[in-house]
Structure 1
């Protein structure tokens, strides 16, 4: 008899099984980037599991895996759930993977207890979200809605020089050349680990997500004057690193005063010539800023832009800013949020209404489909590392909430 229970044991068993598909079996963590051998093996193994539930399973052209159980009354109305199958290098067992396991266990439980739904239920295993192999993110969800562009990837390679197109075709997939086949959804819910410390630190069962933070990423290049570190007095210097330090310290202080949910991060610093006895002539550094309110974020970034140029001018150096990523905040569906809150209240879960500071596939879904997200706690807030961990007993609450929401949407409506 098939075990259709939602328990710590069934979650741990499924997570361990899926985590076994990795490029480096003898290494800690899970490494399963897009279009690798382990990536393909994981998807085909999931395909078999979904087929055993009686689901119709298909791949789209780029490698998204879609499993559907047709509704008996309104099959054209489709309620979907899932997450991404790819991982970062030496990542944890839960990021993305728990969302797929949750969708599988929730629908398995529903089919066993209630039979076929009135509306169709669908699991979507998205091909890629992380950008861990190639410099491109959301390849799965963007293709799901026909948003990806061939020109964005046709000339990129991975760290070993393998072209994107070569990897894709060797895995048996190609560009999306037809209209999206599976995107006509009525609702979408993604369960995900928090990847932060809030739920775990506050001993809360769940997070119900209201929005996904907008984020901007810049590369800032400062060009001063390279000179001798011993003979160039401080008052004569045009030191690019000194200027950068002033910009970073001032604006981090400003961000701390602004408070949550604003986050500001500087990093990936490259100094030229980067030697101990030379005043640095050039420096390039990255900036990442996130907030849930577009107006606040835009204002903060405008002031940051002005401060970078004004500070550079005061040092007698030039500043150039490459604003290479600009994503607005994404609000999620009030209907799905309220449904999740109602179901959580019925079960007596301790939950927090919160936003996601990390980018998520759901932000691609939300403009097209009524969308919601469930967070479960991440131990010590650790993610993208082998130590990433969610207690399976904590995950039980999230999977059951997903199940109850799917039941309401697909069986009761």
Structure 2
């Protein structure tokens, strides 16, 4: 079958599992649809002639042994879970692409020198339980039993009970982390609009941005909207508006790749005829350079404190996420870039502003990422889409990258 048709057929078939009647896909960790999806992928890997296995928590592997260096493994894949009402590409495209790239390599070139392996990771999104990267964190030995043994989903289903219901359990803490992984390459939709706007087919990712997330509570005084003169007000929304504008303006001054977002704003009492006395708001800051990220957020904190003081407001701050930037491996990135050049695809080297399993794996094993364009930059949405031509180009580039890594001395 022509590769383009294979890509479309496998994505279409996999997308029927967890198809949400309200729109998009919902396939959450340890649900029946999640297990069905892993079983579907396993069948496809077996058809290719790969040896399949699961680890303790439900990560699925499909392996083809190397002829000369079987103890050196080149790994590719992504996650199989989705967000609620998500699209049909986030995560599962990386699994499909890895499966089809290795199928193509096997049929075209036979057995590789190094072992090739597909991974379909159990979970990345954090959409059912309050935990993220459960698949990749277990793969690299970072997952902690204490973090999940007492948690439940919104319906009260225990994480542990659901994991065991599907036939899985905690990883043995005495089990050593694998030492055979020589490279991991993850392909993903961009979830942004850079590639599309620049008319490119491929992004070679050289780093994943660090993220710092805050929640602020800004307090003034609620008062009557008609009887409180403007000069006497402690208006929390006015204070927030000035903070938001000042911090974003500073971010624009500094420029790419810095991004800052005030994504959640909750004024109180949030009614038409009362001066708002309180605002809860969030701030999300990202940059590929950890020092510059820290410098910007320190400056943003000072701006917020100074404006609060100027307007006789108090502000409480909670920094609840501080993820460091994760660089990809220079050697693997260079190898992948060379493979992309050989295919003749239009590409650029870029960073990822979103988090991915690669950020968990990269500190442990040499890692690189590839992006394909997202139409209008839409993701985590039923409208998420990429043209079949770009999806196929991604599989071709991934296959070329894996060939360089697994078939050459």
TM-score by length of 1: 0.95
For the Cα contact (< 8 Å) 1:145–1:183, is it kept in 2? no
Partner Cα distance (2:352, 2:114) in 1: 29
Q: Partner of 2:124 in structure 1?
A: 129
How many residue pairs align between the two structures?
Answer: 408
Cα deviation per residue 1:139-188 (whole Å; 9 max; x = unaligned)? Answer: 11111111122232233332333332233222222222333554641100
* 1:86-128 deviations in Å (ceiling 9; x for gaps): 1111111111111111100011111112222111111111111
Label 1:316 to 1:183 Cα distance change in 2 as closer, same or farther (>3 A): farther
Q: Which moved more, 1:345-354 or 1:81-90?
A: 345-354
2:181 aligned counterpart, secondary structure: coil
Which whole-Å CA distance do the structure 2 matches of 1:183 and 1:358 have between them?
Answer: 27
- Is 1:297 aligned to residue 293 of structure 2? yes
Please name the residue that 1:138 is paired with: 133
CA 1:248–1:409 in structure 2 vs 1: closer, same or farther (change >3 Å)? Answer: same
Are the aligned partners of 2:141 and 2:177 in contact in 1 as well (CA < 8 Å)? no
Decide which of 87, 90, 109 is 1:92's aligned counterpart: 87
Q: Aligned residue for 1:75?
A: 70
Q: Which runs of 5+ in 1 are unaligned?
A: none
Aligned to 2:240: 244
Match of 1:102 in 2: 97
Contact 2:339/2:404 (CA < 8 Å) preserved in 1? Answer: no
Which residues in structure 2 correspond to 1:250-289 (within 5 Å)?
250-289=246-285
Q: TM-score, normalised by structure 2?
A: 0.96
| RMSD of aligned alpha carbons | 1.6
**1:298-377 aligned within 5 A:** 298-377=294-373
User: Residues 248 and 35 (structure 1 numbering): CA distance in 2 closer, same or farther, change over 3 Å?
Assistant: same
- When residues 240 and 265 of structure 1 are mapped into structure 2, their CA distance, relative to the original with a 3 A threshold, is same
- Name the CA distance, whole Å, in 2 between partners of 1:386 and 1:180: 40
Q: Does the aligned pair in 2 maintain the 1:144–1:180 contact within 8 Å?
A: no
- The residue aligned with 1:157 is 152
Q: Is the 8 A contact 2:222 2:276 kept in 1?
A: yes
Query: Aligned residue for 1:13?
Result: 9
Per-residue Cα deviation, 1:245-277 (whole angstroms, up to 9, x for no partner):
111111111112221111110022222222222
Q: Which runs of 4+ in 1 moved over 3 A?
A: 180-184
Kindly tell me: are residues 180 and 322 of structure 1, through their superposed partners in 2, closer, same or farther at Cα, counting changes over 3 Å? farther
Gapped regions of structure 2 (runs ≥ 5): none
Deviation at residue 23 of structure 1 after TM alignment? 5.4
